[in-house]
Amino acid sequence: MEELSEFKIPDGSVAAGRRVALPRGAEPPFSVYINGVEQVAGEAYEVQGREIVFARPIVKEGQLGKLRWLSMLVGLVGSYRKHETVDVSYRRDSGTQLVSDVDVIPD
């Protein structure tokens, strides 16, 4: 897995981390999705023990300031910052399970 040194964090967003924990009892095969797009094992992520480790940070929306909240409340602006979700499909008890919006472990 190559490190992505050129990866840029968009304005208004933060790097939440590069790891997510596998659910208890999760067994391969794993399918990993970021915003619904399937990721390629060995290229975008690796399974290390009971965690999935990504080649780049997962990006979440940063905190909104009071002025931004007020502007959104009165309908002047919206929030269009990048916010990625991680979903993981895995085998458990002879069936396939899916967990959505897995918590990212901060670095």
CATH number of the domain to which 89 belongs = 2.60.40
Residue 11 has a pLDDT of 66
Count the helices and strands in the chain (H runs, E runs).
1, 8
Residue 7 within any structural domain of the chain: no
Residue 19 within any structural domain of the chain: yes
Q: What are phi and psi of 42, to 5 degrees?
A: 85, -20
Residue 72 has a pLDDT of 52
Residue 85 within any structural domain of the chain: yes
Q: What is the pTM of this model?
A: 0.76
pLDDT (tens, 9 = 90+) of the chain, 107 residues, equals: 555 556 677 666 777 899 999 999 999 999 999 999 999 999 999 999 999 999 999 988 765 556 554 555 666 555 555 779 999 999 998 899 999 999 999 98
Question: What tokens appear for 32 in the block?
Answer: 């990993």
Domain containing residue 29: 13-105
Count the domains in the chain.
1
Residue 74 within any structural domain of the chain: yes
Residue 9 has a pLDDT of 73
Residue 100 within any structural domain of the chain: yes
Residue 3 within any structural domain of the chain: no
Q: Give the long-range contacts of residues 31-37, CB within 8 A, separation 24 or more.
A: 31/88, 31/89, 31/90, 32/86, 32/87, 32/88, 32/89, 33/86, 33/87, 33/88, 33/89, 34/58, 34/84, 34/85, 34/86, 35/84, 35/85, 36/87
49, 105 contact by CB (below 8 A): no
Residue 69 has a pLDDT of 47
